[in-house]
Structure formats: C-alpha cells, structure tokens
Structure 1
Amino acid sequence: MSVRRIGIIGTENSHVDQFVRFLNIEERHPGNRAVALVGGRTERNEALCRTGNIGLVVENPADLIGHVDAVIVSSRDGRTHREQAEPLLAAGLPVFVDKPFAGSVADAQALIAAAERSGATLGSGSALRFVSGISYLTDHAGQCGALRQVAMTGPADPDSEYAGLFFYGIHQVEAALQLLGDPVVEPGSLTTTASRHGDTVVALTRIGDVSLTFTFVTPSDGEQTSFHATLTGTSGVCAAALTLPADYTAPPLARFIDACDRNEPQKDRSAVLAPIAVLESVTDALASGAPYGKD
C-alpha cells in the first residue's frame, strides 16, 4: 500500500503533538504518515522527530514540494497561513489549514483561489464544530421554535500576539455558523458592533433573521472561561457547554484525510470563508469604535 506522506508547518503549536501521535504512533489512518517538518533543526522539531520517527526537516514551506503528498499548516498566527500555504496549493498539494483559516478576508480569498486554480484539496475547521454540545443543540433546536438569537461565550484575547481575536475567537464564530447551517456570508455584508470593557469584548451582528452575540473573555492567571452556546427561539431556549475532548484535533484531521481520499474539497469554499468574514467584521468594528458594515 502506498503511503500518503504528510508535511507539517507550524510545529510550535501543541496541536502538532496530537497530529504526530494520531498519524505515526497510534496509526489511526493507515497509509498516512507525517514524514517532514518545517522550521529547521530546532529543539522542538528534533523532539518531534524522535517521538514520531520523522526523518526530514526543511527550512521553508516550499521546500516540502517534491517530498510530501499533503500538508498540515498549524502555525498559531493565522496571518502567516497564506504565505505558508499558497505555494503548496499552487503546486497541487492538498492542504489542511488549522484554525484560524486566515487572518483576513483577503488572505482567505487568495487561498481559496489558489486551490481552485490547481484543483487541490483544501480543508480547515475548528474542532469545536465536532463537540457533543453542538450535536445536542442541533438535535434540540426545533424545540426552540423559529431561531432568533445565538449567543456564544468563550476565551479570546484581542491583544494576542497571534492576530488578536482570530486565534481563539474563531472557535466561537465557527460553532455559531455550524448551528446556523453554515450560511453563505459575503464579505462586507454584515453590520457589526463591538465594544471592549476590561478583559471582555462583546460583539453583535445579524445573519438573516438571527442575531448573533459573541462574548470574548481574555484568559488570565491560568483561568479561562469555557465555551458555551445558547439558542433563543420563538418558543424556547436551549443551551449547552461546548467542551473539547482530550483528542479534539482528531475529527478535523479525519475529515481532511477523507477529503484527500475523495480528491475533493473538505467542504464548500463559502463555508471556509464565512467565519473569516464574520470575525473580520468584529475586529474592524472593535478597532474603529463604530459599527462595521453597510451604511
């Protein structure tokens, strides 16, 4: 059986420990193996090589071309993802971009366009989409009647060095869109307000008939608020904690490998772009101090 050789970019991310364990140690996906790391012979990469019996370490993402059959981009800062993934997509390599997909709408659109030109499989997605709380809310949403509001709460730091709210805030946004059935969100189509008081940012926007409220609380001193979602409808309220299991990166990885096997996109391109469009509207509204959106 031929092996799909997978390269990994962004090894500073703890997600990579799970990816290497799933692929090389536990062999959860026979025929798929992490064989190369990017970033040079750092102490971190040397440790990963020993743990996963990985033989190749290169300096730059483009150096993977010719040595791997697919790539995982796991760098913490979404603003680096376009530069890292675009040449690989252009070369036709399947790429999974760990959360957040990008740090701006422009970067997200460029990555989607690169994948469409080459026909490469492109995947992304928050692990929060797969937690049991999302399944519970989806199954019980009908009890709330016609949906009027989705309220999300979770940790995120607007001052994070990893592109501010994009680093952790993307989880809230992707979960909310999952609960709405992943609607198409055209960039610039939302009217969004956002305000900050101390360690908390509250953002309000609307998609169709549903108001969305995001509450981002900055973690501090080893404490952080949990992810939580509340659905309010015309006949009731349904709420659930959104708790990540220990192996929370396993479902996104499995979905990407399945998409590679089928040689098709992991999901519709609009579903990849929508979370970035929503979060960019939040960060722009917060930065400007005025509503973001159409006049």
Structure 2
Amino acid sequence: MRIGIIGTENSHVDHIIEYLNVQRRAGETRVVAASGGPSERNEKLRATGQLERLVDGPTDLLGLVDAVIITDRHGGLHREHAVPFLAEGLPVFVDKPLACTEADARAIVAAAREHDAPLTSSSAVRWVPDTDALAEQAASLGAPQAVITTGPADPDSQYGGIYFYGIHAVDVALRLAPGVIGDVRVEQVADTVIATADVGGVRVVVQLVLPGPDGQVPFHGMVVGRHGLAARELTLGTSYVEPGLRAFLEMAETRRPPIDYDDLVRPMQFLDPIVEAIRQR
C-alpha cells in the first residue's frame, strides 16, 4: 500500500516513517510521497524514508497513493485536506484532532459516509497501554459514576488553541464514558480550565492545565465505579504513535474503521463549548 502524508511539520511523521519505511514493520506498505514541496524538513524526511517524491499541494497526491495520513498540527486544516481523498474513497487517518469545530468534524464524517471511505482519527493517548489498562480496571468496578482526566493544554496555542492538546484528555475521557454528551459547564481555576458534563449518565470532568516554564502536568485518568476506583498516569512511551498507526493500517486493509463515526465527532462536541467559554472570558 502506498501512503501519502500531509502536514509534515508534526513530529509524529518521523515515527510513522521510521515504522513503515526504515523498520519496514508493515511489509510492503510504506510512505511514498508527502506534500509541502522540497522544504528542508521534507528533504530530510525524503532522505530518511527514501520517499519517491515530494509534491506541492495536498491534492497533488491524488493518483499517487492508496491512502493518506493527515498530520497538520492545526486541526483547522483537516477538513480541507481530508475531504478530497475521502471523495475518492481512499482510507484516511487524521491525526488529532479530527477538526477544530464540531461542524468541520461532521463534514469530514459526512464525506466518509457518502463515499464509503474508511476514516479514523484519535489522540495517541487513547491507545497507550496505560489507557487500555485503566479501561480494563474500570470494567471491574461496577457501574461507572465518574471519569476524571487531566492533561496539559494551552488555550492560546497557535495550533488551534485548546484543541491542540486538550483533545488528549477529552478523547480518553470519552473513551471511558461512552454515551450522549449533556451540557458542558466550563470554569477556570488558577491556570486550569475545568469542563464538566453528564455523559451517558456518568459525570465527566476534564482538567486542562496550562503548561508553565518548569514543565507540564502528565496525562492522568481516574474512573470511579459503584464499588471501587481506578487511577493511573497515562504515560507516552517511545512508541506511542504506533498503536494508532496500526489501527489505521488494519482499517485500510479491512475498510472497517476502529472507532464508530459518531464517536469521532464526540470530542469536538465536548471541546466546542470550552472554546466558546474561553472566548467569552
């Protein structure tokens, strides 16, 4: 399978090319092209991964690849970059976040459904072993009562504000609390944005802490069940990109998305009210 990459400024691209092109962990599947032209960054990627070509614009990849991975750091670009490939029926992996508005997320999903094109998107934290272990522990605690996740996020990030890093804690929280999202209530305490909602009958609290000059909080998750609780730090190992990449590769082969399309939109449903609350503060 020939893969094209859009948005090479993201460090995740290095992991993807290392996995597919250098280590050849997926057989003949490899990255063959990237958009963005012959920049210094792209030339380095071409040399490392022995890419066949660099093209100027994202749609220049059409006809050259069998699937695309979109890794723009700013999620506001993802709708524009994803839809042309979905319209051709190609498998598409949109690195976090799927979009920077619920409206854009729904438009991307609508294109996937209309053209029967496999689509997936997720935070890398969703797939790390610690998150899997927390979900497994939570299943033994009785009926879930509350989910609390914590992570760093900067409301003023140049890459889509709170969406850029806030997606991590939100995606994990909503994996642990499936269901309809109620009204999202937002408050700010010191340097932390706290968002709370009832999700499928479970109280979900997401704490997004502004990074400081001395570092940032780790990702953390806690689930309170009817007769117990589970909590753990969600650690990103050196191979943290690989689980989501493997899920995409399986989807490209089977054409069965690993995450339900309605669930792809849910993080944007949660994050949009946070963005609006920050805008009004």
Structure 1 segment 61-210 matched on structure 2, within 5 A? 61-180=58-177, 182-183=178-179, 185=180, 190-210=182-202
Residue 262 of structure 1 is matched in structure 2 by 254
Quote the Cα distance in structure 1 between the aligned partners of 2:172 and 2:264. Answer: 13
Residue 24 and residue 222 in structure 1: after superposition, are their counterparts in 2 closer, same or farther (change >3 A)? Answer: farther
> What is the CA distance between 1:201 and its match in structure 2?
1.0
Matched, 1:41 2:73: no
Quote the Cα distance in structure 2 between the aligned partners of 1:191 and 1:133. Answer: 29
> What is the CA distance between 1:165 and its match in structure 2?
1.1
Residue 274 of structure 2 is matched in structure 1 by 282
> What is the CA distance between 1:222 and its match in structure 2?
5.1
Q: 2:155 touches 2:278 (CA, 8 Å); kept in 1?
A: no
Aligned structure 1 segments of 4 or more residues deviating by more than 6 angstroms: none
> What is the CA distance between 1:277 and its match in structure 2?
1.1
Residue 227 of structure 2 is matched in structure 1 by 235
Residue 64 and residue 284 in structure 1: after superposition, are their counterparts in 2 closer, same or farther (change >3 A)? Answer: same
Quote the Cα distance in structure 1 between the aligned partners of 2:77 and 2:125. Answer: 22
Quote the Cα distance in structure 1 between the aligned partners of 2:70 and 2:192. Answer: 29
SS in 2 for 1:144: coil
Residue 205 of structure 2 is matched in structure 1 by 213
SS in 1 for 2:213: coil
Q: 1:192 touches 1:285 (CA, 8 Å); kept in 2?
A: no
TM-score (norm 2): 0.95
Residue 264 and residue 238 in structure 1: after superposition, are their counterparts in 2 closer, same or farther (change >3 A)? Answer: closer
> Structure 2: 5+ residue runs without aligned partners?
none
Q: 1:190 touches 1:281 (CA, 8 Å); kept in 2?
A: no
Equivalent residue letter for 1:271: D
> What is the CA distance between 1:236 and its match in structure 2?
2.4
Quote the Cα distance in structure 2 between the aligned partners of 1:64 and 1:133. Answer: 36
Q: 2:148 touches 2:223 (CA, 8 Å); kept in 1?
A: yes
> What is the CA distance between 1:218 and its match in structure 2?
1.4
Matched, 1:51 2:52: no
> What is the CA distance between 1:123 and its match in structure 2?
1.2
Quote the Cα distance in structure 1 between the aligned partners of 2:118 and 2:219. Answer: 30
Equivalent residue letter for 1:238: A
TM-score (norm 1): 0.91
Matched, 1:12 2:13: no
SS in 2 for 1:106: helix
> Structure 1: 5+ residue runs without aligned partners?
290-295
Quote the Cα distance in structure 1 between the aligned partners of 2:174 and 2:146. Answer: 12
